[in-house]
Amino acid sequence: MVLYDLELSGNCYKIRLMIAFLGLDCELKAIDFLGGEHKEDAFAAMNPFCEIPVFEDEGLTLRDSQAILIYLARKYGGEAWLPTMPDGLARVMQWLSTASNDLARGPNDARLHDLFGYDINVDLARRKAHLTLSIIENHLKDKEWLELGRPTIADIACFPYIALGHEGGVALDGYPAIRSWIERIKNIPSFVAMPGLA
């Protein structure tokens, strides 16, 4: 099991966190992102989109953090992290879509601008971030977890870029339910942090 990794990537961190929660052994191969290693032929052969993470397990190569979460949950986590029943599965999957879209174009884009210098409309990203956070805050007001009353890959998928929002000027001061949810995730046994997360 190998993860082609960047320590500061929230998408890579999702996979490291899932691996930790599942108690799996995985080799981490750091990619020199700033040096452009992800655009070299050897990496592009694994992922022609030239994006990280890339994950290998028993001859299978996967790109996209949400797909990797699904694979790990189904192969190694049983029903705990991703149910097979259609209603529960769909409820979890809708949050993976939120992570790939609303959170990626909101707090993640703001962080890419502030932390990595990406040429992004940061005001628009922050507005999108707060719109999405307001929806999630309202959703979590009477829930401990995003779905099913327990931690699932929905929580793992959404967690990093919400919790790292401060690195893109997206403060969580006005979102007490989200802050409580973040603390619950940090208290799951085997939780591991990343730079930017205390």
pTM value?
0.94
The 10s digit of each residue's pLDDT in 112-171 is: 999 999 999 999 999 999 999 999 999 999 999 999 999 999 999 999 999 999 999 999
| 196, part of any domain | no
Domain enclosing residue 65, as ranges? 2-76
Residue 34 has pLDDT above 90, yes or no: no
Torsion angle of the four alpha carbons 11, 145, 164, 95, in this order, in degrees rounded to the nearest 10: 40
81 domain residue, yes or no: no
Q: Which residues contact 103 (CB under 8 A, 6 or more apart)?
A: 129, 132, 158, 161, 162
The one-letter amino acid at 33: F
Is residue 24 within 8 Å of residue 17, measured between CB atoms? no
- pLDDT for residue 198 is more than 70: no
36: which residues sit within 8 A by CB, 6+ positions away? none
- Per residue in 37-87, pLDDT tens? 898 999 999 999 989 999 999 999 999 999 999 999 999 998 999 999 999
Q: Do residues 38 and 69 share a domain?
A: yes
Same domain, 56 and 118: no
Question: Could you read off the pLDDT of 170-190 as tens digits, one per residue?
Answer: 999 999 999 999 999 999 999
Closest CA to 107 of 31, 183, 159, 151: 159
pLDDT at 135: 98
Q: Are residues 51 and 94 in the same domain?
A: no
Task: Give the CATH number for residue 149.
Answer: 1.20.1050.10
